[in-house]
A and B are shown apart, each in its own frame.
Chain A
Amino acid sequence: MQAKKLVSVVAALGVLAACGANDPKTTGAEQSKAEQGGTLRILNEGQTLNYDPAKSSSLPITSLGFVHRRLTGWLNAEGKQVEVVPDLGDTGKASDGGKTWTFTLKEGQKFSDGTPIRSKDVKWGVERTYAPAFSGGLAYHKQLLVGGADYRGPFEGKSLDSIETPDDKTIIFHLVRPYGDWPWITSTPAFAPVPEGKGAEADYSEHPVASGPYQLSEYQRGVKATLTRNPNWDKGSDQIRGGLPDQIVFQLGQDASVVSQRLVADSGDDKDAFGSSFASPAQLAQLQGNASAKQRLVTSKTGALAYLALNTQKLTNPKVRQAFQYAVDKTSYQIATAGSAQLAGDTATTLITQGIAGREQFDLYPTQPAGDPEKAKQLLAEGGFPNGLENLDFVVSKSNDGPTKAQAIQASLAKANIKVNIRVLDADAYEAETNLAKDAVYDLTLASWQPDFPSANANIQPLFASSEIGNGGYNTSRYSNPEVDKLIEAAQSEVDPAAAGKKWVELDKKILADSPVVPLIYTRNSFLHGSKVANFFIADFPSYPNYLQAGIAK
């Protein structure tokens, strides 16, 4: 119920643009249309902005999309399922049962330096991602392309033969196995073109050759990045980018609470700005008393799955792990996340997130959202721990209010006689310990996962395939089940979406029965924008605003 109310608030932003509201205070932004021209300002917490596609994990609709086009892109709008659509190329044709994919590039596309974009340049861009010096971006394609497992990039003189470019317009990918979601994979940053032979230098991200509506004209680490128009961008061939503002300015290294104060105050240049990080619970509480600012808050309907990962290598008994499903108080987690259930998002019971095609709602461990400590104690006793568990190591990242959320979990586990010690780490150290380390010392950790493309595949494979343990993988529960691995591969190979959907739901249930994670909530994200920023919306997927369509109202 509450969720629905919220959704209508979000939707109202779009409606207001057309119909006009009674409140005189809102006559500025919300009602006017995004127009050509102006400067869009983005207030960014991070010190750096990465415009090297090989190192990027940016969504197709956010900052990287201003500068780089990709082979395919996403078209998303409020109330519509996100679609994979042609960007530089078409959306591909499968042959050989889904093992070979052929794409054709559009006519007349040019880089910002005026040279034509050829299929070779896309190939070069993909090959670059294999170079050890340019790792760190999304890597779904790396193991799937034939020969990718031991390819080390084009700078050592070899090319990847599984990518064929018979002419300047055609590019053919040969995969190791059938893969139905390949057109989604080609919308990841790795499939942005890099002029063949270029991009060998480590600072390519500071002077990339642009294919999108803007080029990076000025970059000062920790201060700002300015994007100006790319004269060679062909608007007619690009259906996913509005390209409305004349200029885009990223202000880097901004303190989150300062950003929020500035956007609430909405004066001067800040009217043309939006914040790129989530509004914190304290900021959201403050907005409740400010009608004008409240109207400029955009909240997603749903979003990333927040979960408590149980290290299955240390908590080996499934009975004990199941006890956590009952012990955790999901309502206190909601409040710790955003102050209210409504702004935090619905409590979660499945691994596949809301809004993903084929998802089925189920609950293997039905209990009230606040948990059932007695049932948890009983399961612990059955698992051989009648006196509960002591001194479990609970590692969390300092960023994104991690410690606050961890304390909520800690307090609820304590009621079921599970005593945990919170260990707070900086984001880098946290990653080293949870994603990179071969052997994990922690017992529990908090994590959150937003699929990189709207398919259950991207919900489940990265978190539960045994190949994703350590080495940068996100299987933080260190879950390894050969049967599940086999089923994941079978589901990935399914080219028919309906049949694939069924297989993923089966996997969802099968994995949760082993209880490697406790699903907490489907996290809503809230963003605040200035009064002149128009057409700023969050569609059903992903739970981030679409940067590429936003514009400035006159």
Chain B
Amino acid sequence: MSEHVGAPARSVGAAIRAMLRRDHWALAGAVTIVVLGIAAVAADLLTAIEGQDPYSYSTGALNPETGGPAGVLGGVSGAHWFGVEPLTGRDLFAIVVHGARTSFLIGLAATAVSVLVGVLIGAGAGYLGGWYDRVVTWTADVFLGFPYLVFMIALGAVVPSSVSRPLLLILVIGFFGWPSIARIVRSQVLTLKKRNFVSAARILGASPWQVFRSELLPNLWAPVIVLGTLSIPGKIGLEAALSFLGVGIPPPTPSWGRAISTAVDWVSTDPMFLFFPGVALFLATWAFTVFGDGLRDALDPKTDVRR
């Protein structure tokens, strides 16, 4: 660990930069996120360079005896960088990078939904108090103990297929993430509202919304960013779990969870089919977790309130 201790951070951005210089694990996480992020954004370009796409069947790349990939290591070759999918001959590299797009889109968008809902509800509960606070706290407790995976599976089966699945997943996964954020934000607001600058604003006649926007929110960014980042891997994992169970992203849109689900049956004959999407999912969740940990160390909300 570096002995260097930077000047007290002036802003969230500066704090993150300082943290990345200090914490090598968090830096590794950040680099992995960037690499996977680029793969997700430039998926079409990357697969075009490879000369493949995630939808075209290529039965020529399969072993005619078994339907598994022809060649060693699941058919890894210059034409198919990660080999091919059994029974279809679709390019596994294309599936993995397009799957990254699916995972990131849903993981990040769902996090945005939970942060938005969680901050609004939590800040309201902490600032307004009274019966509203009690209802929010009670509801959050119920939601935290709710068997949400079962609920999501049921919902996936009930909601008509005319509703866009990615949108449904974002809303459902995002919605179930609000209680943990709301609870932290609420406790943060409870301490903040006793501070003089908040009292001053209130005495000067600021409405709750104005207090929230100009006094509370700037002090909530740090814990919210930490919590949000730390909840992304859980949400990516949840999307993968739902796709694994067959109620997530519908085929043929690539998804890591669905690829892993199919690959489980093939693990004894074609382990590479499980390896590549499995590693991609592992890297994505690991990267967001270590990066989030680094952020928490840098922006610990319990010790530092910034103006």
Query: What residues make up the interface of A, taking CB atoms closer than 8 Å to B?
Result: 257, 280-286, 288-289, 329, 331-332, 335-336, 338-341, 398, 403-404, 406-408, 410-412, 414, 422-424, 426
Which residues of B sit under 8 angstroms from A338, Cβ to Cβ? 67
Query: What residues make up the interface of B, taking CB atoms closer than 8 Å to A?
Result: 55-57, 59, 62, 64-68, 86-88, 157, 161, 246, 250-252, 262, 264-266, 268-270
Does A412 contact B65, Cβ atoms closer than 8 Å?
Answer: no
Does B268 contact A410, Cβ atoms closer than 8 Å?
Answer: no
Option from B57, B68, B161, B264 in Cβ contact (under 8 Å) with A285:
B68
Does B55 contact A411, Cβ atoms closer than 8 Å?
Answer: yes
Does A284 contact B66, Cβ atoms closer than 8 Å?
Answer: yes
Nearest chain A CB to B226 CB, angstrom units: 38
Which residues of A sit under 8 angstroms from B64, Cβ to Cβ? 340-341
Does A335 contact B269, Cβ atoms closer than 8 Å?
Answer: no
Does B251 contact A422, Cβ atoms closer than 8 Å?
Answer: yes
Does B67 contact A335, Cβ atoms closer than 8 Å?
Answer: yes
Does B67 contact A403, Cβ atoms closer than 8 Å?
Answer: no
Q: How far is the CA of A329 from the CA of B67 in the complex (A)?
A: 16
Nearest chain B CB to A521 CB, angstrom units: 14
Q: A257-B265, A408-B88 are in contact. Are A422 and B252 (CB under 8 A)?
A: yes
Q: Closest residue of chain A to B56, judged by CB?
A: A411
Q: How far is the CA of A284 from the CA of B68 in the complex (A)?
A: 10
Does B66 contact A339, Cβ atoms closer than 8 Å?
Answer: yes
Q: How far is the CA of A408 from the CA of B89 in the complex (A)?
A: 10
Which residues of B sit under 8 angstroms from A398, Cβ to Cβ? 246
Q: Closest residue of chain B to A405, judged by CB?
A: B87
Q: How far is the CA of A283 from the CA of B66 in the complex (A)?
A: 10
Does B252 contact A410, Cβ atoms closer than 8 Å?
Answer: yes
Which residues of A sit under 8 angstroms from B68, Cβ to Cβ? 285, 339
Does A411 contact B66, Cβ atoms closer than 8 Å?
Answer: no
Counting chain A CB atoms within 10 Å of each CB, the highest count among B67, B251, B269 belongs to B67
Which residues of B sit under 8 angstroms from A406, Cβ to Cβ? 251
18 additional A-B residue pairs with CB within 8 Å, beyond A257-B264, A410-B252: A281-B87, A282-B265, A285-B86, A329-B57, A335-B62, A338-B67, A339-B66, A340-B64, A340-B66, A341-B64, A398-B246, A403-B246, A403-B251, A404-B88, A411-B57, A411-B252, A424-B246, A424-B251
Does B55 contact A424, Cβ atoms closer than 8 Å?
Answer: no
Q: A281-B87, A285-B269, A339-B67 are in contact. Are A422 and B250 (CB under 8 A)?
A: yes
Q: How far is the CA of A281 from the CA of B86 in the complex (A)?
A: 9
Which residues of B sit under 8 angstroms from A423, Cβ to Cβ? 161, 250
Which residues of B sit under 8 angstroms from A414, Cβ to Cβ? 55
Nearest chain B CB to A427 CB, angstrom units: 12
Q: How far is the CA of A329 from the CA of B60 in the complex (A)?
A: 13
Complex A-B: 15 CB contacts under 8 Å: A257-B265, A282-B265, A282-B266, A284-B66, A285-B86, A285-B270, A288-B65, A338-B67, A404-B262, A407-B88, A407-B252, A410-B252, A412-B57, A414-B55, A424-B246
Nearest chain A CB to B267 CB, angstrom units: 9
**Chain A contact residues, majority secondary structure:** helix
Nearest chain A CB to B126 CB, angstrom units: 44
Does A288 contact B66, Cβ atoms closer than 8 Å?
Answer: yes
Does B252 contact A335, Cβ atoms closer than 8 Å?
Answer: no
Does B59 contact A331, Cβ atoms closer than 8 Å?
Answer: yes
Which residues of B sit under 8 angstroms from A422, Cβ to Cβ? 250-252
Option from B88, B161, B265 in Cβ contact (under 8 Å) with A283:
B265
Which residues of B sit under 8 angstroms from A331, Cβ to Cβ? 59
Q: Closest residue of chain B to A256, judged by CB?
A: B265
Does B57 contact A408, Cβ atoms closer than 8 Å?
Answer: yes
Nearest chain B CB to A22 CB, angstrom units: 23
Q: How far is the CA of A99 from the CA of B197 in the complex (A)?
A: 98
Q: A286-B268, A411-B55, A426-B157 are in contact. Are A281 and B250 (CB under 8 A)?
A: no
Q: A335-B59, A398-B246 are in contact. Are A340 and B65 (CB under 8 A)?
A: yes
Which residues of B sit under 8 angstroms from A280, Cβ to Cβ? 265
Q: How far is the CA of A339 from the CA of B250 in the complex (A)?
A: 23
Nearest chain A CB to B123 CB, angstrom units: 41
Does A404 contact B57, Cβ atoms closer than 8 Å?
Answer: no
Q: How far is the CA of A281 from the CA of B65 in the complex (A)?
A: 11
Nearest chain B CB to A323 CB, angstrom units: 19
Nearest chain A CB to B264 CB, angstrom units: 8
Which residues of B sit under 8 angstroms from A286, Cβ to Cβ? 268-269
Which residues of A sit under 8 angstroms from B269, Cβ to Cβ? 282, 285-286, 288-289
Q: A282-B86, A286-B269, A408-B88 are in contact. Are A424 and B250 (CB under 8 A)?
A: yes
Q: A257-B265, A282-B86, A408-B88 are in contact. Are A332 and B59 (CB under 8 A)?
A: yes
Q: Closest residue of chain B to A414, judged by CB?
A: B55
Nearest chain B CB to A391 CB, angstrom units: 11
Q: How far is the CA of A68 from the CA of B251 in the complex (A)?
A: 43
Nearest chain B CB to A39 CB, angstrom units: 29
Q: How far is the CA of A331 from the CA of B88 in the complex (A)?
A: 11
Which residues of B sit under 8 angstroms from A289, Cβ to Cβ? 269
Q: How far is the CA of A398 from the CA of B156 in the complex (A)?
A: 14
Which residues of B sit under 8 angstroms from A340, Cβ to Cβ? 64-67
Q: Closest residue of chain A to B66, judged by CB?
A: A285
Nearest chain B CB to A335 CB, angstrom units: 5
Which residues of A sit under 8 angstroms from B265, Cβ to Cβ? 257, 280, 282-283
Option from A281, A407, A410 in Cβ contact (under 8 Å) with B67:
A281
Nearest chain A CB to B205 CB, angstrom units: 56
Which residues of A sit under 8 angstroms from B57, Cβ to Cβ? 329, 332, 408, 411-412
Counting chain A CB atoms within 10 Å of each CB, the highest count among B59, B66, B246 belongs to B66
Q: Closest residue of chain B to A410, judged by CB?
A: B252
Option from B59, B66, B87 in Cβ contact (under 8 Å) with A404:
B87
Does A332 contact B66, Cβ atoms closer than 8 Å?
Answer: no
Q: How far is the CA of A422 from the CA of B252 in the complex (A)?
A: 8
Q: Closest residue of chain A to B157, judged by CB?
A: A426
Which residues of A sit under 8 angstroms from B55, Cβ to Cβ? 411, 414
Nearest chain B CB to A434 CB, angstrom units: 15
Nearest chain A CB to B92 CB, angstrom units: 15
Q: How far is the CA of A62 from the CA of B56 in the complex (A)?
A: 41
Q: How far is the CA of A332 from the CA of B252 in the complex (A)?
A: 15
